[in-house]
Structure 1
C-alpha cells in the first residue's frame, strides 16, 4: 500500500470535505444554541426561548388522541412499499391538499384584472373546483426533500434559481448542499411591503448573465463590510454568469407571514413563462392562512401551457404541527419531472408506518375542514396577541400579516450602526446570549434591509411567548 494522507479528512471526496468544513449560518447557530440550552419553566428558567423555529404547537391536541387510536398494525407496514409513496397514502394526501390549498371549492376571487395587467392577453378563467391527481404526487420525507429533489432534476450543479427576498433561510441549504444550485436573490423592499415586482425578477435574471443587478440594492444593504456573513450570502453568485433554471417561491411567504396578491402571483407566473423558467411554489403554509380572503394556489392561476413548468411543494408538517413525522409531497404535471423524482424518491422515502398512520386522518374530509378552520382561529388569536405585545415595546410587524406561524418584525431602530448588517448581527447575538431568546435575523433570509427579524409565535404557550417578549424588551433597553 502506498503512503500518503491517511487521516479521515484526506479520505473524503472534495464535496464531503466541503460539507465537513462548512460553518453553520447565523440561522442554524441560533437554532443550535437554543437546542443546547432550552428554556423550561421548572428545570431551566434561564434557558433560551425558541422563537426561531417555524413550529405550530397550537392545535396538536386536536389530532393526538385520534392518531394514538389509529396506530397501524406493524405487520401491515413492515414490508417494502412504493418509494414515492403507497397509493392509499398518495390518495389521502391528494384529498387533504385539495382542502389545504383551497382547491376543492369554487373560487370566489376575481383575478381577471391581475391577469390582464400581468400578461396583456385574454383572461383565463379558473374558477371551478380543482383536484390533486395522486398519480402525479411524489411523497418525500419532508418538504425540504421535495425542494431538493426538484432542484436536482431541474438544474445542474452551478446553475441557479431566482428566489425573491426575504426567503426561508433553509432554501440556501435545500438548493446548494446536494444539488449544487445557487440562489440569485430578487430584492424586495419594505416601502412596497416586500412585494415581488417584475423589475426585481428581471434584475436578478440580468445579474445571472453578469450584467449587474438593481443599482439601489448596494446602498440599502448598509455598511457591514465584505467579511460579514450576511453580505456574503447576499452577494453569492454576483459577477459570475450562471444559467437560471427557475424561480423558487414560498407562498404564503416564509418569513413575511402573509399571502401574495393574485396580481403578484400572476406576474411571477408570467415572468417564468416569458423566460421559459420552471416555477417551484412551496405552499406548505397554505392551510394556515388565518386572515383575509384565503389562499390562492398557483395551480388555480396557471394555464395548461404552464403545467410542464409549475411544481408544487406541500406537506402537513406546518398545518398539522407534525414536522417530526417527516412527510412532504411534490406535485408536478410534467411526466419527465415525475419520472425523474420518482426514481430519486428512494433516497428520501418516508416510513410506511407513518403513511398508514396519517392516511385515515388526511382522507377524512369533514376532519380536514373542521381542523383547518379551528387551527386558523388559534393562529389568528396567537398572532394578534404577539403583535400587540411587540407593539407595546416599540416593535412593529409587517402590515397585512395573515398566514403562517411567524411575524416579520421591524427592529431597525434598535440596531447600531444604523442600517448595517453588523448591527443586525450584534442585536441577534445579544438577544440570543444575553436576552435568552432566539429569533431569526433578516440577513439569514437574504433581506436587503438590515434590522428585520422573523419571530415564530405558534411554537410556545402564551405565557412563554410573553416572557420572551419581556426579555426582548429588557435587552433593547440595555442597548
Structure 2
C-alpha cells in the first residue's frame, strides 16, 4: 500500500516541483545517535528541547532552493523571516568603498567599552537623533550589543528577576519568549486586546483598562508585573502607537514602577500610506513618533528604547542592537555584563562611516521607503482580490493576514496543517500564527522585503492558484 506522502508526491501538481520539506523538525525531541542528554547540564537539556521558533529549520531548508525567474523558476519563497534585502546592492557598494579607501583605525584591533566604542556611539546618536527621534541624543545614554536579541536579553537580566513577568500586547514577536526566558528566567504574558483583526485596522488599541486587567491577573497568580514591551511600528501588524498612547502608558508605568520599553527596530521602514494604490485603506494618516522624546520629557528610570540596524538598514547579519535609557545604573550594569555580546570593532568602524554620511543615509532611506511601499502594494492587492482580510500596515516588513476561512478547523492543528500544505503545494513559506500569543487561528505574517516586485507577484500568484484549488475541492 502506498503511503499518504507517496500518493501526495505522485499526484500533487505543485509539490513535485519542490524538494520534500522536512516536517519532522516539528518533533522537538528528535533523537540522534549522540543524543544522550545525561552528557549535558539541566540548562543544556532545556536548550536542547527549546527551538528558537517553529518555522526556522524549514526557513533554512527553503533558503537552499530560492526562486529565480531564469535559473530556478520552480524555486521556493521563504517569506517568513523578517529580512530586508530591498537595497542591499546600494549598501554593499558603500561598505566596499569604505573598506577600499579608508584606513582602519588602531582601536579596531583592541578592546573597547562594553557599551560600544565612543565614536560609534556618537555616530549612532547623531543618526538616530536626526532620522528617528528628531532631537539631539547623548551617546552616553546608549548601550550597544550584538543584535536586538542580545539587547533584549541583557535588558531582561538587568531590569527583572527570575520569575518576574514581561507583558506583550498580542499578537507579538514569538522569539521575545526565548530572549527574556532563556537566561533571565523572565516569564511572558500575552495581553489580549482583541480577537478579530478588524479591531486594529486603525492601529493598536492597548488601553489603561487592558493594563490594569493584566496587572490584576498577574498579581492574582502570585507574580510580579515588571516589564511592559511594545513594538512600534508593531510586529506583526505594522500598526503605529500614537504619541498620546505612549505618553499615557508611560505615566501609568512610572506610577507603578513598571519598566516600559518601546522597541523601535522598524522605526525607519514606514509605508507611504498616501500612495494612490492604498490611500483609501487608511482612515487616519498616522505618522511614526519615536518614544525617545517622551523618555527625555519624563526623565524617568522606568523608560527605555530598543533599536537595531537590522531592519531599517537591512543588515541583520551584522548584529548591531542598541538600548537608549536615562537610567545610569542600568547602563553601568549593561557595560559590566555585555562582554559576551559585544559588536565586532570592525563592524562598528564600518557602520560609523556609513551612518556618518548623512546625505547617503537620506538617499538610502528614501529608496527604502519607495521599495518597501511597492512590495507592500503587490501583496495587499492580491489579498484584496482573494478577499483575505488584513491589517493595513503603516510600517515594518510584513502584512498580518487572516486565512482562517481556509482552515479545516479553527484550531492550532488546523492552522499548522494549512501552513504546511501551503508550503508543500506552492513553495511559499509564511510565518505561522503559533507563538504570537493571539487567540485567532489562521492569522499569518507575510514578509515582502526578501524579493523584488516581479518575484513577489509570482509568489502571490502561486498562493492564489492554491487557494482557488481549495475552493473547488
Q: How many residues align?
A: 417
Whole-angstrom distance in 2 between the partners of 1:138 and 1:273: 22
Question: Counterpart of 1:13?
Answer: 41
CA contact (8 A) 1:143 1:329 kept: yes
Deviation at 1:337, TM superposition (A): 0.4
Equivalent residue for 1:215?
none
* TM-score for both structures, normalised by structure 2: 0.83
2:88 matches 1:60: yes
Q: Deviations along 1:314-371, whole A, 9 cap, x unmatched?
A: 1111111111111111111101100111111111101111111111111222233332
Q: Sort the Cα spacing of 1:446 and 1:7 in 2 relative to 1 into closer, same or farther, 3 A.
A: closer
User: Could you say if the C-alpha distance between residues 82 and 452 of structure 1 is closer, same or farther in structure 2, counting changes exceeding 3 Å?
Assistant: same
Kindly report structure 1 stretches of 4+ aligned residues shifted beyond 6 Å.
Answer: none
Question: Which has the higher mean CA deviation after the structures are superposed, 154-163 or 265-274?
Answer: 265-274
The 5 Å alignment of 1:208-357 reads 208-210=218-220, 240-291=221-272, 292-302=285-295, 304-357=297-350
Which structure 2 residue ranges, 5 or more long, are not aligned? 1-33, 273-284
| 2:130 equivalent to 1:90 | no
Give the RMSD, CA atoms, in angstroms: 2.2
- 2 CA distance for matches of 1:416 and 1:402? 31
Deviation track 1:152-201 (CA, whole Å, cap 9, x = no partner) reads 10111221101111111221111111211111111122242152222222
The answer as to 2:452 corresponding to 1:461 is: yes
**Residues 23 and 69 (structure 1), Cα distance of their counterparts in 2 relative to 1, 3 Å cut:** closer
Retained in 1: the 8 A contact 2:374–2:453?
no
After superposition, the Cα gap between the structure-2 partners of 1:373 and 1:39, relative to the gap in structure 1 and judged at 3 Å, is: closer
**Which residue does the alignment assign to 1:141?**
146
Q: How does 1:165-244 map to 2 (within 5 A)?
A: 165-189=170-194, 190-193=197-200, 194-210=204-220, 240-244=221-225
CA contact under 8 A between 2:233 and 2:240: conserved in structure 1? yes
Q: Structure 1: which 5+ residue stretches go unaligned?
A: 1-5, 105-129, 211-239
Equivalence for 1:410: 402
Deviation at 1:261, TM superposition (A): 2.1
Q: 1:67 to 1:24 in 2, by over 3 A?
A: closer
User: What CA distance in whole angstroms lies between the structure 2 residues aligned with 1:7 and 1:465?
Assistant: 41
* Distance in 2 of aligned mates of 1:409 and 1:244: 31
Q: SS where residue 249 of structure 2 aligns?
A: helix
Q: 2:375, 2:452 within 8 Å by CA — same for their partners in 1?
A: no
Structure 2 distance, partners of 1:293, 1:372, is: 19
Secondary structure of residue in 2 paired with 1:209:
helix
